[in-house]
Structure 1
């Protein structure tokens, strides 16, 4: 028997071997090297080339847990774990099996290892770097153990893979990707309480480090994401788009790719295409380790059906866990074009643009049918789903088409190294159950630690009092409210509440008080997740409800936004601005505590949540309240303050549905008197961003006006500002609504719940106001004062029909309704600018107040 030499299967620095060891009897095949039947030799070599080639992994541990014998799966052998083996350390030797008909053909799920206490598998690592960890679970009843009620945690290295995990009554495999940095990998199973942990099978396999590259497109805000190689990932979905299932026998890294049909929202929008033989791998791009040719050689494309005016997106929807970022890998290979410069398309993810006018030939530089992948990293996901869409480019004279060949969605570990829940690794020595000495030692040690901590806190408290008496504090800590008494947070924290102007005390709140208010940041109290971090509902010790925003260390919003929020809110008190109660910066935390807004966000009442629909009058009142808050920011202080992130998610509603503007982390002080704008980097939320600010990077109050105009249309239509699942002309709400407004047919696109309930005059005035807000140039947009006036007028028109209304002139009507306002003018020499711009003036309670009266006169305009 002859054996083919290894060099035949060596490529790109990694060792590859056929799926099975191939041994050939040269005599029987008559293929001696002197060589007749050379044709058969060539035929045989071609056959080998078509076989999937497997990575010769430096580390490859395949364990069939609880099995008394080894188990062969295809070309791989899963070895039996042994209670006395070098891998396994567990308090008790409990293994079991089942004869359930459900898993007769699933060999790896027929046996199980049961853990009654903390147990570990320990593996020697020959080559540090990226490794796959695959865990197999199938709960069944074995003796007195009902594994469907098991509850346990699984950790590996410094990462939590599963927290408080209870498998469902079906087989499940969880795949993780971890960068192993030491020569030993320990996987720990920890049962909760009196429960048990279990495992049916386990894989630890090294993979090329190039599988995860330290680069990716960051979405919202747009930029580059660095640091992927340090992260751990959980595979959420791995999809062969447009093709059949590809199982582990046909993938170099033993992965499984599932068909995409169950994730596709509208099957009629796409058709399958296939040309596996055409797939090419090019140096520096995707390899067969990235995805096999059977993935790159199949695709879904737009079903434009020879229709040059087709305009829709093909969309897939996936279930995800909120509160995490996700790495989404798009696999592309142009197997549909006959020539270059034919295929251009757009790629979206949720409301984010991944790529516009995508040209695959520019990504590959190797012509058609060349495999390539693109990575995108999401911001923190706040919902339970992630949608991926492809659609036609807006380039003129390009046929509407789009393709996608494969897709991988991977959850990224959070700031405490967890892929499931918020727990972090707490090292526990295995086999400590019942060790009384260890327990006593830990108890005594714990008492000593508590005593030392108490002494330290007393020392810090004395030092704080001494420094306060000497007038020391951090330069950026907000101090007082010009004589106003701020909110306090109960007796335990009374020393940290702000006082009078002369007290010079800040808003700092002890971390222990924040922990107590949120029940140690109980996940059940999470009421929102944003770019800064999670928001918890809390109750301080005097019974006051609060909202606690805890900064995520991995958030793109950091210390600057934290400081800005405190500085801004400590200076303002207005009934339509959310009040800051305090902050905490202990233990490297960035925590903000606000008044609690009972009814959440305006966005949540418009769409996405199952809440009762708001009436048109109520929506107008909310818009008016928000406009009052923004007008106060722009005019009620010595210098204008530009919010820079006006959106429906940042307009909160109290128990009476009164609107308050929130989230001042991106706010910016406006230009000096002799300046027209502030030059600054572009920040804000996609869909609300002022295009002029984006183009010129010149910020003015009119940037807030543009964003507020988008909010007005959002209030009217009750839909997201960017929705890539809709036909192309409807994706961007502002553009779509403006088209209908200019046609004079805005009633065609309003929220169905408002149909027939808006008086035409009110709708017309509201639409005109929103249209003016969205003017291309800031100088053509109204001030927030003008907007407020028009919205109040729209409310008047909704509540009562005004007789003899000439041309529905808002100036005339407001003047006629409130003639008493004519006794005041900002230009009046008896009124000083100091009086007019006093930053403690709350103008919110005055409908059609004197502040706007100059608009009643032509010279005032």
Structure 2
């Protein structure tokens, strides 16, 4: 229903024409290589061959080309191009000095004499580099925003020596509106915190990377006074179920001093994403998070966020926080006070972000403690990300002026550094002698926790994570040098990115022994996610099981937090249930996957004296290897179970939306039955092939666990199963499966089965499906399953010895990892 309303709204907005369209003082629209004019979105592009003497073209060798196979569904602008075989340029007379937008259109094709697909060239504007060694292998539009401080703008195209060919399909040059950028103090978000960006934004050369209509559909230049394209945000949302689309049919209340239609069109300010609060109590808090890849590492990005509060019923009702790359950019933001106490009034915020080495800008919005509404909320209407092209070049003058001051500081610092190095060598040799003496006196069976001192973050871990001894060499046996990880991931090549989450990006890599691995890299320099980093190492270094993911190693050097796992070829269970790229799983495959996951969780609960509670069981944390063997992953939220004289562990609520045990949420008392509840949701997810939470469905269907439970209690479960399973499931098998899932989802933990009982029932479900006698299962020693002998763990119906680090099975990991939504809740 929500989708249909949004489509109708978007259609209505498409016919809204702005009464006072922006008229730029400078407005050049050039159809390169064409002898006729071309009209696009009520704009007339002039063919450069129709201009007398081609007055815009400067000296240089160029040729007009016509596309012999111009696709009918592409822009008419792309039927021709101008190719350059030597350095050439277009020159434009500027009527009004100031900020201008420059758009370059490239559509490569092959003519009789030239193949534009193999061109390689550079582009500059008045001597400032816009593109370097650029190869347009496909259709692309590049947009730049720059200050033109001369009466002439020259855009130059220079082929590289190995290519000797450059080209362009169309050029747009036009003035930006007044106050498009307002110079002044701008927040500068760096990995270590918030500083002040001291340069004027208007003096920077910017390249548009992303322009996103949050909560809305794609907007074409026809609907924008600056002829921009805005894309939907769906592909950038980290957790779609955390957000809910909001929209209005009322035009925004533009106020002087706020945003204008030139900053962003009406359509952007009339749609938004807000927190999905439909099935959440007022005390449950989370963030909405988007990940935007920006391509360049260690580059500065200008981020512009657009807001229009049409969701509040009164002023000063909405307070929220804005985070970027897990650092808080704006705290307790109150749009009412920024928009002169007018609701539904557009506003925007600019700040500069150092993308670091991740090459990703992460934006999150979440509730503030100052919110007075019954249910806290947060919104976002639009996002623009622009790369600052020439920031380092702009600093040259500043560096020159301070050269002598810097030189004096360097000399003084060098003297101090020499003393520090000498002192460090003395300490290092002393520690080395002490370590050697300890090794000589060691029996080889003891281990020492990772040092708290000396810069390591891995010391004595909180939240009762000490479970059992790791490898004979302690955690040090798992350390992998940072240089080895760089080599394995081709220095964190962006083409190797296979996933992302709150902890950071995940890369596919190959270690020196040709072992495929998944490398989960935390945001460099950030300590956020540190507890999860510590817990993963603590838990995974001590357990080995066929159905649990295996930790290959970790790295903590140069302010890095990196976890390395064996690579899982087929990814997450979720992607196979309702991902578009995979063949549907058969019912037998789904049962075997559930049984494997149940074995892994059962071992966690019973394999040690206190057991381990996972706390984040969900379909994205169940991974499938090349043989579809299930492996439970992501132990960042895991906890030791209660001691023998305890019934539960008291702890803050953490988990994932839609899978969270309601009793744990109410009482903040954690038991292994919380994992059982989450697994019950997974069972229905496997059966119905739909997400645990889908905010786009009707209210009664949003929460999968509650919805499926109602059908199960009515005895009509077969009516909601995955249509692709119809005719595959025997009635007895489906009945037993539904009963098992229903018991897992009991309101109170005491009424839920243990994971051993769940495993037993799922084995029966499989037997019923294969129409074999269930009685044969009764010969299994249930007591042995529930209480394995010391040093042994159940695995696929057989027993395997726990042999520390040398007994690892073929245990792999994921291409997708959990999303940490806030520091408090997940």
Q: TM-score, normalised by structure 2?
A: 0.57
Does residue 751 of structure 1 match 2:722? yes
Contact 2:471 2:541 in 1 (8 A): no
Relative to 1, partners in 2 of residues 1:568 and 1:189: Cα closer, same or farther, differing over 3 Å? farther
How many Å apart are 1:727 and its aligned residue? 4.4
Shift of 1:630: 1.3
Q: Which residue of 2 aligns with 1:632?
A: 603
Give 2:792's aligned residue: 841
Per the TM alignment, residue 570 of structure 1 is displaced from its structure 2 partner at its CA by: 0.7
- Three-state SS of the structure 2 residue aligned to 1:572 is coil
Deviates more, 1:514-523 or 1:709-718: 514-523
Report SS of the residue matched to 1:790.
helix
* Residue 666 of structure 2 is aligned to residue 705 of structure 1: no
Deviation at residue 679 of structure 1 after TM alignment: 4.3
Q: Which of the residues 182, 198, 208 maps onto 2:181?
A: 208
**Cα deviation, residue 716, structure 1:** 1.1
Match of 2:451 among 474, 483, 489: 474
- State the alpha-carbon separation in 1 of the partners of residues 596 and 217 from structure 2: 50
Q: Corresponding residue for 1:646?
A: 617
Listed as ranges, the matches of 1:104-503 within 5 Å are 134-139=102-107, 146-151=115-120, 166-167=135-136, 173-175=141-143, 194-195=162-163, 200=171, 207-209=180-182, 234-237=209-212, 251=225, 254-256=226-228, 280-282=253-255, 286-292=259-265, 329=306, 370-372=344-346, 408=382, 410=384, 469=436, 474-475=451-452, 501=472
- Closer, same or farther: CA 273–412 of 1 in aligned 2, 3 Å: closer
Q: Deviations over 1:566-585 (max 9, x none)?
A: 11111111221111111122
For residues 169 and 709 of structure 1, do their structure 2 counterparts lie closer, same or farther at Cα, with a shift above 3 Å needed? Answer: closer
- Aligned in 2, Cα 1:611/1:66: closer, same or farther, shift over 3 Å? closer
Q: Is the 8 A contact 2:213 2:268 kept in 1?
A: no
Alignment pair present for 1:688 and 2:650: no
Q: CA deviation at 1:291?
A: 3.5
Corresponding residue of 2:584: 613
Compared CA separation, residues 51 and 819, structure 1 to 2 (3 A): closer
Larger Rg: 1
The aligned residue for residue 782 of structure 1 is 753
Instruction: Determine helix, strand or coil for the equivalent of 1:688.
Output: coil
- Residue by residue, what CA displacement relative to the aligned partner does 1:142-163 show, whole Å, maximum 9, x if unpaired? 998754433468899xx99989
Contact 2:214 2:271 in 1 (8 A): no
Q: Does the CA contact (< 8 Å) of 1:620 and 1:795 recur in 2?
A: yes
Q: Is the 8 A contact 1:616 1:757 kept in 2?
A: yes
Matched, 1:568 2:519: no
- Greater shift, 287-296 or 585-594, is seen at 287-296
On the 8 A contact 2:180/2:263 being kept in 1, the answer is: no
Which sections of structure 1, spanning at least 5 residues, go unmatched?
A: 1-48, 81-91, 181-185, 217-224, 264-269, 301-317, 342-359, 380-403, 419-423, 431-454, 480-497, 804-812, 827-834, 850-861
Partner of 1:436: none
Q: Tell me by how many angstroms 1:758 deviates.
A: 1.4
Q: Which runs of 5+ in 2 are unaligned?
A: 1-17, 49-57, 149-153, 236-244, 273-289, 316-334, 356-378, 397-420, 439-447, 460-468, 801-826
Q: 1-side partners of 2:63 and 2:499: how far apart?
A: 44
Aligned counterparts of 1:553 and 1:503: Cα–Cα separation in 2: 25
Which of 555, 567, 585 is the matching residue for 1:584?
555
Once residues 194 and 659 of structure 2 are traced to their aligned partners in structure 1, the CA distance between those partners, rounded to angstroms, is 26
Query: Over residues 389-437 of structure 1, what are the superposed CA-to-partner deviations in whole Å (9 max), with x where a residue is unaligned?
Result: xxxxxxxxxxxxxxx9x96454587xxx99xxxxx9999999xxxxxxx
Q: Retained in 2: the 8 A contact 1:549–1:593? A: yes
Q: CA RMSD in A?
A: 6.5
Aligned in 2, Cα 1:539/1:321: closer, same or farther, shift over 3 Å?
Answer: closer
How far apart are the structure 2 equivalents of 1:176 and 1:723? 38
The alpha carbon displacement at 1:588 in A equals: 2.9
Task: Summarize the Cα distance change of 1:372–1:203 in structure 2 as closer, same or farther, 3 Å threshold.
Answer: closer
What secondary structure does 1:582 align onto? Answer: strand
Contact 1:722/1:731 (8 A) holds in 2: yes
1:136-181 deviation line (CA, Å, top 9, x unaligned): 123578998754433468899xx999898544676x543468999x
Residue-pair matches, total: 607
Instruction: Give the Cα–Cα distance (whole angstroms) in 1 for the partners of residues 75 and 504 of structure 2.
Output: 46
Separation in 1, partners of 2:752, 2:130: 52
**Match for residue 542 of structure 1 among 500, 509, 513:** 513
Q: Residue 256 of structure 1: SS of its match in structure 2? A: coil
Deviations 1:91-150 (A, max 9, x none): x9757464869999979x976888879xxx9x9xx99xxx88643123578998754433
How far off its partner does 1:757 sit?
1.5
Deviation at 1:640, TM superposition (A): 3.1
Query: Are 2:778 and 1:817 aligned?
Result: yes
- How far apart are the structure 1 equivalents of 2:209 and 2:657? 28
Cα distance in 1, alignment partners of residues 515 and 22 from structure 2: 64
| 1:578–1:149 CA distance, 2 compared to 1 (3 A) | same
3-state SS of paired residue (1:627): helix
What is the rounded CA distance, in whole Å, between the counterparts of 2:394 and 2:115 in structure 1? 25
Native 8 Å contact 2:733 2:768 kept in 1 = yes
- The yes-or-no answer on 1:795 pairing with 2:766 is yes
Q: Displacement, 1:780?
A: 3.2
SS at match of 1:817: helix
C-alpha distance in structure 1 between counterparts of 2:695 and 2:350, whole Å:
16
* Contact 2:736–2:761, Cα closer than 8 Å, also in 1: yes
How far apart are the structure 2 equivalents of 1:375 and 1:295?
Answer: 15
Cα distance in 2 for partners of 1:429, 1:372 equals 34
Deviation at 1:661, TM superposition (A): 0.9
Q: Distance in 2 between matches of 1:274 and 1:530?
A: 34
Secondary structure in 2 matching 1:560:
helix
Shift of residue 507 of structure 1?
A: 0.9
Describe the SS at the equivalent of 2:541. Answer: helix
Structure-2 separation of matches of 1:847 and 1:715: 26
Residue 154 to residue 411, structure 1, CA distance change in 2 (3 Å) = farther
TM-score (norm 1): 0.55
Task: Report if aligned partners of 1:741, 1:771 keep a CA contact under 8 Å in 2.
Answer: yes
Name the CA distance, whole Å, in 2 between partners of 1:674 and 1:209: 64
The alignment status of 1:600 with 2:571, answered yes or no, reads: yes
